[in-house]
Amino acid sequence: MSLASWNDGAARTAILEFVDRVSEEGGADYVPPAERVAVLDNDGTLWCEKPTYFQALFVFARLGEAVAAKPELGEQPVVKALLAGDLAGAQQYGLEAIAGVLLQLDAGRTTEEFTRDAAAWFAAAKHPRFGVPFGELTYAPMLELLDLLREREFRVFIVTGGGVEFVRAIGEELYGVTPDDVVGSAVQVSFERRDGRIVLVRQAAMLGSPNEGPPKAVNIQAHIGVRPIFAAGNSAGDAEMLEYAHTGDHPSLCLVVDHDDEDREYAYESLAATNADAEPILETASRLSWTVVSMRDDWSRIFAG
């Protein structure tokens, strides 16, 4: 059965009706397969993002090691706070200072080395509350949704505020999404030759803006080149991506995952990481009549693992 982990309800019905409508040849709302593009946020939409973004945990885990290799890193107050596990203290120095540390950590690594680093961490690390590898904390109902979209000839893309190379390292295994179908925040790389090989080397600087808010729509154009007709997110940083899908010429479906299940996952409001003043996503959803997915009520099962 399609969407087996979804309880009967408005969200499940909206999804099933939408995929039927756009794929029914000859129907008034038919959309040709070439334009069936689906974009989904990752953190908090396809997998858990608490106690903090898994990518942040990846970075913190490697910070001690990095300071041993580059002692000058450890002299920065923000790094001292991070090493002491004092996330609130580190946040006093601002998101940019924290991001700067992360960028320095991997500067000089080739993109291929970084991918191996990330994959190795995923294979070994465990979630602090659930005690399982992070790869088991994808949402089973969302994996079923990806399957359904592909069955109906959608091309499925992850459009994440996370680092594109971090998410690519696990996208195929967890979601069946190949690296070319991941759009995310990116760092600059330099073109170099090492030992007779061309390699691309990560720099301590971002390439453009973090992929959140309006940049999600801009980067969908840069990487995908087609306005989506399906979009799913969970935070205020996803609002423009959903509105971009919503305001196209075709019928569209916009889903907002509401984290309202403290027992099985977490209960919280998902803010935009880079814009604390953005309208709460549930208000945007209400204003634009998007479909809200209650984790508590709409999902009979949470995690795939």
**Interface with a second copy (CB under 8 A):** 34, 37, 111-112, 155, 157, 164-165, 168, 172, 178-182, 186, 189, 191, 196-198, 200, 207, 214-215, 217-218, 221-227, 240, 243-244, 247-248
Shortest distance in whole angstroms from residue 21 CB to a second copy: 21
In the chain, beta strands by DSSP E = 37-40, 155-163, 182-185, 187-194, 197-206, 230-233, 253-258, 291-294
Bridge partners, 139 (sequence order): 303
Residue 21 or 246 with smaller CB distance to a second copy: 246
| Shortest reach from residue 178's CB to a second copy, in Å | 6
Q: How many CA atoms lie within 13 A of 162 on its CB side?
A: 31
- Least distance from a second copy to the Cβ atom of residue 223, Å: 6
Task: Report the C-alpha gap between 275 and 278 in whole angstroms.
Answer: 6
Nearer to a second copy among residue 24 and residue 192 (C-beta): 192
**Nearer residue to a second copy within complex by CB, 56 or 189:** 189
Q: Which is nearer to a second copy, 2 or 275 (CB)?
A: 275
Of 19 and 217, which has the nearer Cβ to a second copy? Answer: 217
Positive or negative: CA dihedral 173, 175, 177, 181? negative
CB of 194 to a second copy, least distance (A): 10
Give 157's strand partners: 39
Who contacts 270 (Cβ-Cβ below 8 Å, separation ≥6)?
44, 49, 234, 235, 236, 259, 281
Closest CB to a second copy among 46 and 220? Answer: 220
Cα 295 to Cα 303: distance, rounded to the nearest angstrom: 11
Residues with Cβ within 8 Å of residue 136, at least 6 apart in sequence: 130, 303, 304, 305
CB of 224 vs a second copy, minimal distance in Å: 4
Tokens representing residue 248 in the block: 């196209």
Say if CB 46 and CB 40 are below 8 A apart. Answer: yes
Q: How far is the CB of 37 from a second copy (least distance, A)?
A: 8
Q: Which is nearer to a second copy, 27 or 176 (CB)?
A: 176
Smallest separation, CB 189 to a second copy (Å): 6
